[in-house]
Amino acid sequence: MKLLRSYPIIGAIAAQVVAGALVWLLLMGLAGTLDARGLFWMALLMQSLAAALITRLIGLPVWWVWIGLCFPAAMVLALNAGELPAWPFGVGFVVLYLFFSNTARERVPLYLTNRATTEALASLMQQRGASRFVDLGSGLGGVVRALDGEGRQARGVETAPMVWLLSVLVSKIFRRGRILRQDIWSADISGDDIVYAFLSPEPMPALYDKAAREMKPGSLLVSNSFAVPGVEPSETWELPDRRKTRLYLYEMSERPSVSTDGAKAAVGQ
C-alpha cells in the first residue's frame, strides 16, 4: 500500500486493473439479460465507479479519484477519435499541461496537504518560534495562506501555470501568503526557519543536498511522506489523520552537504 501511495500512477493503474476484473465477474452474471449495447454502458459505468472507489480506498489524493472516474470514458473517446473532432483532445492536453506540467518535468505530482498536516505545521512553527516559512511546490497555496499572518511570513513556489495562477488569485483575495512562479531548485531558502515539501521520492536526495548547503543552522526541512534515503530524521511525526501522514523533520547544522550528483542529474539539475 505504501508503494502505491509513493507512486500514485502505479496505484491508479492497479485500481483500473482490479476494477476491470471485478466488473468482468459481475457482468458474467448479467450476460443474456441485457443486449450488447446495454452491457457496454453498464460496464463503462461500473468500471468508472469501481476504479474511483478503489483509488479512494488505496488512499491516493482526491484528484486521482477523479482521474480514476474519468479514465474509462476517456479511453472510449480515444478509441473512437476518428469519429470525433480533434479540438476536444487539444483542449484536454492544454488543460493537463497547465495543471500538471511539473509532473513530467520535475517528477513531482500535484499533492495537496490536508488540514491535519497544516495544523501540525502551525504547531511546529509555534513550538520553535519560527517566523519564516516556505512551501516548495505549494500547489493551490492552502498551507501558505493558513500559516501566513500573526507575525509569520509564509510564501510558496509553484511552476504549473494554472495551479500557480489560481493560488495567486485566491491568496490576493484573502490577502494572505505570497506565491511565486518559481521552481524549487532556484528558490532562495537561506532565510527561512521552516522549509516544507510534499514532493515524491525522486527529488528527495537533491532537495536535502540543497537544504544542507543553503539553510541556516537550526532551521528545519520538513518532508511530507517521503524520507531522505540514508539520512536519519531529527524527528518523525505521525499524524492522526486517515492516511497516517508522516512528517520527516531534518534540523540543519554546520555540516558538509551529502553528495547527490546522480540524483541531481536525474531531476535535470
CATH number at residue 185: 3.40.50.150
Least trusted range by pLDDT, from 5-9, 92-96, 265-269 = 265-269
Query: 257 and 139, same structural domain?
Result: yes
The predicted pLDDT at position 37 comes to: 72
The predicted pLDDT at position 226 comes to: 92
Confirm whether 169 is domain-assigned: yes
Quick check: 249 and 237 in contact, CB under 8 A?
yes
Confirm whether 198 is domain-assigned: yes
Confirm whether 110 is domain-assigned: no
- Indicate the residue among 35, 67, 84 that finishes a domain: 84
Quick check: 196 and 105 in contact, CB under 8 A?
no
Residue range(s) defining the domain that contains residue 136: 115-266
Residue 106's pLDDT band (cuts 50, 70, 90):
low
The predicted pLDDT at position 82 comes to: 53
Confirm whether 93 is domain-assigned: no
Residue 87's pLDDT band (cuts 50, 70, 90):
very low
Query: 182 and 135, same structural domain?
Result: yes
Query: 162 and 48, same structural domain?
Result: no
* Average pLDDT, integer, range 35-61: 79
Number of domains in the chain: 2
Query: 225 and 141, same structural domain?
Result: yes
DSSP codes, the chain: -HHHHHSHHHHHHHHHHHHHHHHHHHHHHHBTTB-HHHHHHHHHHHHHHHHHHHHHHHT--HHHHHHHHHHHHHHHHHHTGGGS-SHHHHHHHHHHHHHHHHHHHHS-------HHHHHHHHHHHHHHT--EEEEET-TT-HHHHHHSBTTBEEEEEE-SHHHHHHHHHHHHHHT--EEEE--TTT---TT-SEEEE---STTHHHHHHHHHHHSPTT-EEEEES-PPTT---SEEEE-SSTT--EEEEEE--S-PPPP-HHHHHHTT-
The answer, yes or no, to whether residue 64 has pLDDT greater than 80, is: no
* Average pLDDT, integer, range 191-220: 94
- Indicate the residue among 67, 84, 101 that finishes a domain: 84
Q: What is the pLDDT of residues 161-192, one digit of tens each?
A: 888 888 999 999 999 999 999 889 999 999 99
The answer, yes or no, to whether residue 39 has pLDDT greater than 90, is: no
Least trusted range by pLDDT, from 2-6, 131-135, 199-203 = 2-6
Least trusted range by pLDDT, from 38-47, 116-125, 240-249 = 38-47
Confirm whether 67 is domain-assigned: yes
Q: What is the pLDDT of residues 213-262, one digit of tens each?
A: 999 999 999 999 999 999 999 999 999 988 889 999 999 986 544 444 54
Distance CA 60, CA 65 (A): 7
The predicted pLDDT at position 80 comes to: 61
Mean pLDDT of the chain: 80
The predicted pLDDT at position 253 comes to: 86
Query: 258 and 193, same structural domain?
Result: yes
Confirm whether 89 is domain-assigned: no
Query: 142 and 230, same structural domain?
Result: yes
The answer, yes or no, to whether residue 22 has pLDDT greater than 90, is: no
Quick check: 239 and 116 in contact, CB under 8 A?
yes
Cβ within 8 Å of residue 120, ≥6 positions away: 237, 239, 247
Query: 240 and 141, same structural domain?
Result: yes
Confirm whether 166 is domain-assigned: yes
Kindly state the cell numbers that stand for 224. Answer: 511530507
Residue 68's pLDDT band (cuts 50, 70, 90):
confident
Confirm whether 66 is domain-assigned: yes
